[in-house]
Amino acid sequence: MILEKINAPSDLRGLTLPELEKLAEEIRSFLLKVVSRTGGHLAPNLGVVELAIALHYVFESPRDKIIWDVGHQCYVHKILTGRRDKMETLRQYKGLSGFPRCSESDHDCFETGHSSTSISAALGFAIARDLKGEQHSVLAVIGDGALTGGMAFEALNHAGQLGTRLIVVLNDNEMSISRNVGALANYLSRLRTDPLYYRSKEEIRDVLRRIPNIGPRVFKAVERFKDSFKYLLVNGILFEELGFTYLGPIDGHNIGLLIQVMERAKGLPGPVLLHVSTVKGMGYPPAEKYPNRFHGIGAFDLATGEPHPPGPAPSFTEVFGATVVRLAERHPYLVAISAAMTDGTGLRDFAERYPDRFFDVGIAEEHAVTLAAGLAKAGCLPVVAIYSTFLQRAYDQIVHDVARQKLHVVFALDRGGIVGDDGETHQGIFDLSYLRHIPGMTVMVPKDQSELVAMLKSAIDYPGPVAIRYPRGAGPLIEVEMDPTALPLGRGEVLRRGRDVVIFAVGPLVYHALEAAAMLADEGKDVAVVNCRFVKPLDEDLILDWALKTEKVLTLEENVLAGGFGSAVLELLAARNYRGEAACLGVPNCFLEHGDPRILREALGLDPAGIARFIRSKGW
Ligand SMILES: Cc1ncc(C[n+]2csc(CCOP(=O)(O)OP(=O)(O)O)c2C)c(N)n1
Ligand SMILES: CC(=O)[C@@H](O)[C@H](O)COP(=O)(O)O
Ligand SMILES: [Mg+2]
C-alpha cells in the first residue's frame, strides 16, 4: 500500500506518476471504507482525489497556503497531511472535524464551512505575503456551486484589480448539492464543451507568434483588436476581463496534466484562474449516479449504496415540505425560495409541483431574502427556506429590506439548534438571538411536527415578517396532524401544572422538560411545564402568571443564552419587578463542536436527566 507510507505531503514528491495514480485508487477505497461507516461528504471528496494529490505534489503546504472553499471536500487533504489514522473518528464527538480546522493541523491554514469565502481569505493571505516580502503561493480551491455566492464575485473583483499573485482553482463538477444553477453555471458549461473555447489566451499567442511572416503581424493585429479577438477565441473571457489569467478547462482526474498546469500557474505573476473539470462521486458508481444523495450522507451500505433506513418519525423538513405544497394549493401567489438547498430544505416536491413559483437562487442567501422582499412588496407571499446557520449571512437583508418595510415574508429556518455532525460552522444556535431583536419580527419554535404545521398555517395570516425555526432530523411524533387549528399570535400553552417550579421551554426541548418534570415528580417535586411557542411576541401574561405562582423559573432553549429566549423571559420578569428566582439553560456563549446531538445535549445538560439535575442543584 502506497497510502500507508504517506504521512506528509513531502512523501508524495518521491512517487512516480503511476504510483500517484495508484495512490489515488487507494485513497478512493479508503474514503469509501471510512465514510460508509462515519457518514460525511462522500461525493465531493471522491471528486477531488487527483486534484488534492496534485496540489500537494506541486505546492509546499504549509508554507504555501491552500484554502478549501466550504471545506466539505477536505478529507483527501486531511489524509495527505498526516491525519489518515484519525479518519475513523471523522465527525464523531472529539474526533476529526469534517471541515478544515487550524487546531488539527498547520496544513489547515483557514477554517471554512460556509460557502464562497475562500477567494477573499486567500486574497488576504496574498496581500499579507506581499507586504511582508514573502514568496509563497496562495490558493483558493472553490467549487462551481460556491462560485455562485456573491462573496466569491466580490473577491474576484478585488483580486483582479490588485493584480496580486493568487491562484483560484475552480473545481467544476456541474453540481452544487443538486445540479448547479444560474447563468454562470451555463457559462462554465459552454467553456467545457465548446472547442472554440479550448485554448488559453497565452497558448493562442504562442501559436500565432510561431507562424513565420504572418504570425507576428496577426498577433499585432490581434493586440490592436484585442477585445474582438478574445471574444472569438479566448477561453474564460469573463475571468480574463476581470484581470485573471485563465487556464483550462483541464481534466481534473488526470494527475500528470494537473501537475503540469499547476507548475505553470505557480510561475505566473498575477491572479490565475485554473478551471478543472471533475466528476462528483468519481469512482463509486452509486455516487456518480446520485451525486446529490451522496453529497452529504449518513452511514450507508458500501455494497449497495443504500443508506441505513430512517426511523418511523417524519423529519421536520419533510413535514415542512408537505405543508408548503398544501398551502400553495390555497394561495396562488405563495412562492418558495431556496438558496441551493432544494432537497435539504424539503422543497423538492414544491419545485416539481410549482416550477413557476419556485426559485433556487444558488448559494445566495442575501439575494434570496431581498428577492423575497421584492416579491412581498409586489403582492406575493414568499416562503424563504434557509438553514438557520446560512441565514446568518442575510441578517442585514432581513433587517433592512424585509422588517423595516414590515413585509410579510415567511422565513423557514431549518437546522435550528444543534445539528451535530457538521459542528461549529453549521450549528443553528444563534438564530433566536439574531432574530428576536428585530422590530416587528414574529419568532416561533414548534415543539413537534404537528405544531410546525400549525405555525406555518398561522404564519400565512400574521402580519409582517415571520420566522419559524425547527431542528434537523426526525421529530418527536410518528403520527403528524396535517390539519391542525391555527395558533393565536403570541400564545403559549400549559402542558403540566405544578406548584414548585415552572419550566418555560421552546422547541422539542419541551418534551425533555416534561420528562424531567416526571422524574422530579417521583421525588416529590411539583414542576409545571409551559410550551411558550413564541420567542416573540412572548405570551407575557402566561409567563408572568406562572412565574408568580411558583417563584422559581427555569427557561430552556437550544440557542446561545446571550440574547435568546431565556434572555427575553428574564427581560420581561425584570421589567415587571419579579422578585423570585430564575435561571436559564441553553448553549453557553461558545462555538459548539461536532458530534452526535444526543451527546452534545447531554454535555450541555439539555437532556431530561440534565434538566432534572439542574433543578435539584438549585435546591428548588
Ligand atoms: C453560505 C452557505 N450556503 C449553503 C451551504 C450549503 N452547501 C454546502 S456545499 C454546497 C454546494 C457546493 O457546491 P460546490 O462548491 O460546487 O462543491 P461540490 O460539492 O460540488 O464539490 C452547498 C450549497 C453552505 N455551506 N454555505
Ligand atoms: C457542507 C454543507 O454545508 C452541507 O452539505 C451541509 O453539510 C448539509 O447539511 P445537512 O446534512 O444537514 O443537509
Ligand atoms: Mg460543484
In this structure, the answer to whether residues 255 and 360 fall within a common structural domain is: no
478 by Cβ neighbours in 10 Å (0-12 / 13-18 / 19+) ranks as: exposed
Cβ(35)–Cβ(302) under 8 Å? no
Closest CA to 200 of 160, 249, 167: 249
Could you count the other beta carbons within 10 Å of the beta carbon of residue 20? 20
CA-to-CA distance for 540 and 52, rounded, in angstroms?
56
In this structure, the answer to whether residues 340 and 421 fall within a common structural domain is: yes
Cβ(345)–Cβ(319) under 8 Å? no
Q: Is residue 301 part of a domain?
A: no
Marked catalytic residue, from 393, 469, 496, 533 = 393
* CATH number of the domain that residue 279 is part of: 3.40.50.970
pTM summary value: 0.94
Could you count the other beta carbons within 10 Å of the beta carbon of residue 329? 10
Closest CA to 386 of 133, 79, 115: 115
User: DSSP H helical segments within 268-364, as ranges?
Assistant: 285-289, 316-330, 348-353
Which numbered atom of ligand 2 lies nearest the CA of 115? 3
Per-residue model confidence (pLDDT) at position 298: 96
In this structure, the answer to whether residues 88 and 23 fall within a common structural domain is: yes
Closest CA to 244 of 363, 147, 109: 147
Kindly identify the ligand whose nearest atom is closest to the C-alpha of 118. 1
Per-residue model confidence (pLDDT) at position 200: 53
Ligand 1 in reach of 281 Cβ (< 6 A) = no
Per-residue model confidence (pLDDT) at position 409: 99
- 264 to 114, 133, 195, 552: CA distances (angstroms): 30, 22, 22, 69
Residue nearest to atom 23 of ligand 1 (CA): 340
Rg of the chain in Å (alpha carbons): 27
pLDDT tens across 322-345, in order?
A: 999 999 999 999 999 999 999 999
CA-to-CA distance for 362 and 180, rounded, in angstroms?
7
Cβ(498)–Cβ(514) under 8 Å? no
In this structure, the answer to whether residues 463 and 498 fall within a common structural domain is: no
For residue 280, indicate whether it is catalytic. yes
Closest CA to 386 of 375, 376, 397: 397
In this structure, the answer to whether residues 551 and 504 fall within a common structural domain is: yes
Ligand 1 in reach of 70 Cβ (< 6 A) = yes
In this structure, the answer to whether residues 245 and 336 fall within a common structural domain is: no
Which numbered atom of ligand 1 lies nearest the CA of 426? 25
Per-residue model confidence (pLDDT) at position 527: 98
For residue 365, indicate whether it is catalytic. yes
- 252 to 53, 135, 248, 282: CA distances (angstroms): 11, 27, 10, 11
CA-to-CA distance for 116 and 149, rounded, in angstroms?
6
426 annotated ligand binder: no
CA 214 to ligand 1 center in whole angstroms: 48
In this structure, the answer to whether residues 540 and 409 fall within a common structural domain is: no
Q: Is residue 304 part of a domain?
A: no
In this structure, the answer to whether residues 326 and 411 fall within a common structural domain is: yes
565 phi-psi bin (left φ>0, alpha ψ -120 to 50, beta other): alpha
Ligand 1 in reach of 173 Cβ (< 6 A) = yes
Per-residue model confidence (pLDDT) at position 316: 98
CA-to-CA distance for 470 and 346, rounded, in angstroms?
13
Q: Is residue 477 part of a domain?
A: no
Per-residue model confidence (pLDDT) at position 202: 62
CA-to-CA distance for 273 and 168, rounded, in angstroms?
5
Q: Is residue 225 part of a domain?
A: no
Q: Is residue 478 part of a domain?
A: no
Residue nearest to atom 11 of ligand 2 (CA): 296
Residues of the chain with confidence (pLDDT) below 70: 194-205, 207-208, 211, 213-234
Per-residue model confidence (pLDDT) at position 205: 66
Closest CA to 54 of 113, 12, 101: 12
> Among residues 226, 254, 289, which one ends one of the domains?
289
In this structure, the answer to whether residues 322 and 282 fall within a common structural domain is: no
Range(s) of the domain holding residue 607: 493-617
Q: Is residue 275 part of a domain?
A: yes
Q: How many helices (H) and strands (E) does the chain have?
A: 25, 17
Could you please report the per-residue DSSP string of 442-502? EEE--SSHHHHHHHHHHHTTSSS-EEEE--SSB-S-SS--SSPPPPPTT--EEEE--SSEE
pLDDT tens across 233-259, in order?
A: 557 788 998 999 999 999 999 999 999
* Amino acid present at 203: E
Pairing of the two strands 534-536 and 442-444: antiparallel
577 annotated ligand binder: no
Cβ(554)–Cβ(616) under 8 Å? no
Marked catalytic residue, from 129, 280, 469, 533 = 280
CA-to-CA distance for 52 and 50, rounded, in angstroms?
5
In this structure, the answer to whether residues 36 and 159 fall within a common structural domain is: yes
Q: Is residue 307 part of a domain?
A: no
> Among residues 469, 503, 537, which one ends one of the domains?
469
> Among residues 289, 308, 331, which one ends one of the domains?
289
Could you count the other beta carbons within 10 Å of the beta carbon of residue 4? 10
Cβ(182)–Cβ(168) under 8 Å? no
For residue 240, indicate whether it is catalytic. no
128 annotated ligand binder: no
- 483 to 326, 333, 454, 552, 571: CA distances (angstroms): 10, 21, 8, 36, 35
Tell me the three cell numbers of residue 159. Answer: 483580486
Q: Say whether 215 sits in a helix, a strand or coil.
A: helix
Per-residue model confidence (pLDDT) at position 174: 96
CA 274 to ligand 3 center in whole angstroms: 15
Kind plus residue range of the DSSP H or E element containing 385 = strand 381-387
Q: Is residue 371 part of a domain?
A: yes
Ligand 2 in reach of 100 Cβ (< 6 A) = no
Cβ(547)–Cβ(564) under 8 Å? no
Buried b / exposed e over 201-236, threshold 16 CB at 10 Å, is beebbeebeeeeeeeeeebeebeeeeeebbeebbbb
CA 534 to ligand 3 center in whole angstroms: 38
Kindly identify the ligand whose nearest atom is closest to the C-alpha of 363. 1
Q: Domain tally for the chain?
A: 3
270 annotated ligand binder: no
Cβ(141)–Cβ(108) under 8 Å? no
In this structure, the answer to whether residues 521 and 568 fall within a common structural domain is: yes
In this structure, the answer to whether residues 463 and 507 fall within a common structural domain is: no
Omega cis (within 30) before 271: no
* CATH number of the domain that residue 580 is part of: 3.40.50.920
Per-residue model confidence (pLDDT) at position 236: 77
